[in-house]
Amino acid sequence: MKIIKLLLGLFLYVLILILVYIIHVKFFYVKVVLYSAILDVIIATIITSLVVLLSNFSKIFTTFEKLQMLIIYMLIGYAIAISVPTIIDRSLSFYILEKINQRGGGIKESGFQKIFTEEYIYEHRLVDVRLTEQLASGTIIIENNCVKITNKGKIFASISSNFRKHLLPKKRLLRNEYTNDLIDIFKNDKEKNNNVVGYECK
């Protein structure tokens, strides 16, 4: 009986989450899709707790079990927020599929460099989206047309570069060969001694 009620509560939670998400994206302003989706998870969890956990529906559960249910709901909601709207919003892989479909079902392999440099950045307003996300996260500030990294941003950059260097696969398949090219993404700059490129803030 408890399992059935747990699943019914979960089903109701997912329905509430979908409804909250649709209302949010249709009628309210959104700065960052990920943060918006996480906010929807929190709102849906609160509504579900009021509807389910505080009603007679959940009297069969102990207080600890109710807390566990809330945690389960939030974790599932977080997984949905990351796996659906955020992935579709950010995913280059989905863009490639959409672009191939848009171009009639086939694109020459040699054309993808042009697509990424001339179409993807423009169509997705990639620079605007990523700068907005970083501003909202507090990892950068913009002063006098200069984008500057904050102390918080430096911490994240350090974590990212160290994770990339030590914990990403060193034998990764890129098309037809296994390589470690993505372990050090600035390797070409170092090899060319190209530390000054002309777009730094003076």
Each residue of 143-198: pLDDT tens digit?
Answer: 999 999 999 999 999 999 999 889 888 888 988 899 888 888 777 765 555 555 67
pLDDT at residue 175 in the model: 84
pLDDT at residue 24 in the model: 95
State how far the Cα of 63 lies from the Cα of 66, in Å rounded to an integer.
Answer: 5
Percent of the chain with pLDDT over 70: 95
How many CB atoms are closer than 10 A to CB 58? 19
pTM: 0.77
Among 5-9, 84-88, 119-123, the least confident range:
5-9
pLDDT at residue 74 in the model: 92
Averaged pLDDT for residues 125-143: 93
